[in-house]
C-alpha cells in the first residue's frame, strides 16, 4: 500500500489510497477505446480531439475533487474561501488565454472561435438563482454531476435524471423567459465598452484579485474549518493515483477550456446536451419539441442527427469516462443505496439546475466559467445571483437531511 503524504499545513496524515480496481479500469479503457474508434471513423478527428479533452477534464475534476457547489457552500456557511480563490485563479488563467484567441480569431479545424456572450435579463437572473438552489440540493453542479456519476455516486444518477428533465422543461419555456421577459442586450466587456480585449483583461484581473483577497479577509475574520485532506501519494504516482493540489487543477481546467475554444469554436459547455438528450426522448414519445422556440432555426437540426455529431455530448461522455478511470485508479469507484430524502433532494436539485441552466444560457461551466472567461457581463451576473440562490439553499438543505459546514467542524 502506498504511503500517504504528510501535510505540514494541517499537521495531519492524509487518508490511504485503496488498491486500483482492475475491472473498473479494464471496462473504462475498453469503452473509451471503442468510442474513440467510432468517433474517428464516423465523425472525424475534430470530435475525437474533443472527446479526448473531455476525458482530461473529467480526470482533472475527480483528481482534485474540484467543486463549484462546495466552493459556494463553504464560503457562505463558514467563510472558507479556498475553493473560491481557486476559481479566481482558474478564471484569471482562462481570461489570459481567451483574450488573444478571441481577438485574433485563432481556431483549429476551420473554426472561428466565439465566446459565450449572452443577454443580461430576467432569464439570467431567474435561471442562475434557481441553479444556485438546485446545485446545493442536488449535491453537485453540472460538471460535478458528470464527474461524480463517473465516480460511482449513485445519487448523482438521480441528479442527472432531474437535470435532463429540467432542461427539457426549460427548453419548452425558453421563448417566454428569453424573448418575452425584460432583457438588456448581450454585453462584452471587451467589445461593447471600448476597453478592447487588453483593457477588459486588465479589468477582470483586478476583479479576480479583489475577490481573492476579499475571501481571504473573510476567512481571517471567521476562522473557518480547513478543507478536508484527500487521499494521495507522492512522486510521479500522484499524477495517476493521488489527489492533486486544487490550484493545479484550476490551471489545468483553464488550459483545457482554452483548447476547447480553439478546437470547436466555443468554450466548454455541458447542459445544452442534457436538453438535446431529453428532447430527443420527448420527440420519440410523440411530443413535438420542434415547435418550441428553443429548437427554432439551425439548432433544431441536432434533433434529427446522431448524438455523436453534438460536440457537447461527446465531451460529456469524455468527462464521465475520464472520472470513471481516475476513480478506478484510486480504488474509489463505489455505488451505494440512496436514502429517500437524499434521492428527493437529488431529483429536485437536478430539476432546478436543468431548468435554470436553460434560462441562464448555461451553468457553472457555460455561464460562469465560460461566460466570464469570454468577458461577458452575463457571466458575472450569473456568479452573484447563483451565490444568492446557494445562500437560500443553506436553509433548505436540512429539510432533506443534508448537513452544512459549521464553525465547530474540523474540516469542511
**Residue 217 pLDDT greater than 80, yes or no:** yes
Is residue 89 a part of any domain in this protein? Answer: yes
Is residue 302 a part of any domain in this protein? Answer: no
Would you state the pLDDT for residue 241?
80
Would you state the pLDDT for residue 7?
38
Rounded to the nearest integer, the mean pLDDT of the chain is 93
C-alpha torsion sign, points 31, 161, 47, 255:
negative
Would you state the pLDDT for residue 15?
57
CB neighbours (10 Å) of residue 341? Answer: 12
- Confirm if 374 and 267 have CB atoms less than 8 A apart: yes
Number of structural domains (the chain) is: 1
3-state helix/strand/coil string of 266-296: CCCCCHHHHHHHHHHHHHHCCCCHHHCHHHC
* HSE-up of residue 138 (Cα within 13 Å, Cβ side): 35
Read off the pLDDT band of 412 (50, 70, 90): confident
Would you state the pLDDT for residue 234?
73
Q: Which three cell numbers stand for residue 282?
A: 420527448
> Who has greater pLDDT, 98 or 19?
98
Interior/surface letters 62-78, b for 16+ CB within 10 angstroms, e for the rest:
bbbbbbbbbbbbbbbbb
Would you state the pLDDT for residue 236?
76
Give the pLDDT confidence of 159-194 residue by residue, as tens digits: 999 999 999 999 999 999 999 999 999 999 999 999
Give the pLDDT confidence of 118-130 residue by residue, as tens digits: 999 999 999 999 9
Interior/surface letters 137-149, b for 16+ CB within 10 angstroms, e for the rest:
bbbbbbbbbbbbb
Is residue 7 a part of any domain in this protein? Answer: no
Is residue 108 a part of any domain in this protein? Answer: yes
**Residue 12 pLDDT greater than 60, yes or no:** no
Lookup result for grid cell 482554452: 258
**Residue 294 pLDDT greater than 80, yes or no:** yes
Secondary structure of residue 185 in the 3-state scheme: strand
Would you state the pLDDT for residue 8?
36
Give the pLDDT confidence of 25-82 residue by residue, as tens digits: 999 999 999 999 999 999 999 999 999 999 999 999 999 999 999 999 999 999 999 9
As to burial, measured by CB atoms within 10 angstroms (0-12 exposed, 13-18 middle, 19+ buried), residue 403 is: exposed
Helix axes 69-78, 82-104, angle to 10 degrees: 130
Secondary structure of residue 376 in the 3-state scheme: strand
Would you state the pLDDT for residue 237?
74
Write phi, then psi, for 148 (nearest 5 degrees). Answer: -80, -25
Instruction: Give the Cα separation of 366 and 395 in Å (integer).
Output: 27
Domain that holds residue 396: 21-297+309-400
Element housing 119 (H / E): strand 119-121
Would you state the pLDDT for residue 409?
80
Lookup result for grid cell 461524480: 148
Q: Which three cell numbers stand for residue 368?
A: 460562469
Q: Which three cell numbers stand for residue 294?
A: 428553443
Would you state the pLDDT for residue 1?
35
Identify which of 10, 16, 31 has the alpha carbon closest to the alpha carbon of residue 321: 31
Write phi, then psi, for 208 (nearest 5 degrees). Answer: -60, -40
Is residue 11 a part of any domain in this protein? Answer: no
Is residue 3 a part of any domain in this protein? Answer: no
Would you state the pLDDT for residue 94?
98
Instruction: Give the Cα separation of 357 and 243 in Å (integer).
Output: 30
Task: Fill in the DSSP letter of residue 367.
Answer: I
Is residue 16 a part of any domain in this protein? Answer: no
**Residue 411 pLDDT greater than 80, yes or no:** no
Give the pLDDT confidence of 253-262 residue by residue, as tens digits: 999 999 999 9
Percentage of the chain exceeding pLDDT 90: 86
Give the pLDDT confidence of 87-111 residue by residue, as tens digits: 999 999 999 999 999 999 999 999 9
Read off the pLDDT band of 3 (50, 70, 90): very low
Read off the pLDDT band of 2 (50, 70, 90): very low
**Residue 368 pLDDT greater than 80, yes or no:** yes
Would you state the pLDDT for residue 384?
98
- Confirm if 93 and 253 have CB atoms less than 8 A apart: no
Would you state the pLDDT for residue 16?
57
Is residue 304 a part of any domain in this protein? Answer: no
Would you state the pLDDT for residue 5?
40
Instruction: Give the Cα separation of 69 and 77 in Å (integer).
Output: 12
Would you state the pLDDT for residue 19?
87
Amino acid at each position: 500500500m502506498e504511503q500517504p503524504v504528510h501535510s505540514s499545513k494541517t499537521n495531519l496524515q492524509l487518508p490511504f489510497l485503496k488498491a486500483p480496481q482492475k475491472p473498473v479500469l479494464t471496462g473504462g479503457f475498453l469503452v473509451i477505446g471503442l468510442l474513440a474508434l467510432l468517433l474517428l471513423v464516423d465523425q472525424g478527428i475534430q470530435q475525437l480531439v474533443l472527446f479526448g479533452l473531455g476525458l482530461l477534464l473529467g480526470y482533472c475534476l475527480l483528481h482534485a475533487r474540484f467543486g463549484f457547489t462546495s466552493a459556494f457552500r463553504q464560503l457562505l456557511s463558514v467563510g472558507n474561501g479556498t475553493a473560491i480563490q481557486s476559481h479566481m485563479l482558474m478564471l484569471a488563467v482562462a481570461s489570459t488565454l481567451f483574450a488573444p484567441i478571441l481577438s485574433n480569431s485563432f481556431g483549429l479545424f476551420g473554426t472561428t472561435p466565439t465566446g459565450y456572450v449572452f443577454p443580461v435579463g430576467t432569464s439570467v437572473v431567474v435561471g442562475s438563482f434557481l441553479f444556485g438552489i438546485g446545485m446545493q440540493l442536488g449535491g453537485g453542479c453540472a460538471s460535478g454531476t458528470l464527474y461524480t456519476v463517473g465516480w460511482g455516486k449513485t445519487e448523482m444518477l438521480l441528479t442527472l435524471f432531474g437535470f435532463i428533465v429540467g432542461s427539457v422543461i426549460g427548453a419548452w419555456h425558453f421563448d417566454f423567459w428569453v424573448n418575452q421577459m425584460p432583457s438588456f442586450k448581450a454585453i462584452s466587456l471587451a467589445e461593447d465598452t471600448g476597453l478592447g480585449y487588453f483593457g477588459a483583461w486588465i479589468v477582470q484581473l483586478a476583479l479576480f484579485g479583489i475577490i481573492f483577497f476579499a475571501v481571504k479577509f473573510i476567512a481571517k475574520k471567521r476562522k473557518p474549518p480547513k478543507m478536508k485532506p484527500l487521499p494521495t501519494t507522492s512522486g510521479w504516482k500522484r499524477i495517476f493515483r493521488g489527489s492533486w493540489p486544487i490550484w493545479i487543477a484550476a490551471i489545468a481546467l483553464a488550459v483545457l477550456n482554452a483548447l476547447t475554444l480553439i478546437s470547436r469554436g466555443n468554450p466548454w459547455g455541458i447542459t445544452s446536451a442534457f436538453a438535446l438528450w431529453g428532447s430527443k426522448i420527448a420527440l420519440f414519445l410523440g411530443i413535438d419539441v420542434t415547435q418550441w422556440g428553443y429548437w427554432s432555426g439551425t439548432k433544431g437540426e441536432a434533433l434529427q442527427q446522431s448524438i455523436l455529431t453534438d460536440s457537447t455530448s461527446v465531451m460529456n461522455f469524455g468527462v464521465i469516462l475520464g472520472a470513471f478511470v481516475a476513480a478506478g485508479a484510486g480504488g474509489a469507484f463505489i455505488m451505494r443505496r440512496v436514502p429517500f430524502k437524499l434521492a428527493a433532494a437529488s431529483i429536485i436539485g437536478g430539476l432546478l439546475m436543468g431548468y435554470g441552466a436553460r434560462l441562464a444560457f448555461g451553468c457553472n461551466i457555460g455561464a460562469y466559467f465560460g461566460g466570464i472567461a469570454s468577458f461577458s457581463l452575463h457571466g458575472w451576473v450569473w456568479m452573484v445571483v447563483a451565490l444568492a440562490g446557494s445562500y437560500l439553499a443553506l436553509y433548505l438543505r436540512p429539510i432533506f437531511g443534508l448537513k452544512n459546514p459549521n464553525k465547530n467542524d474540523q474540516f469542511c
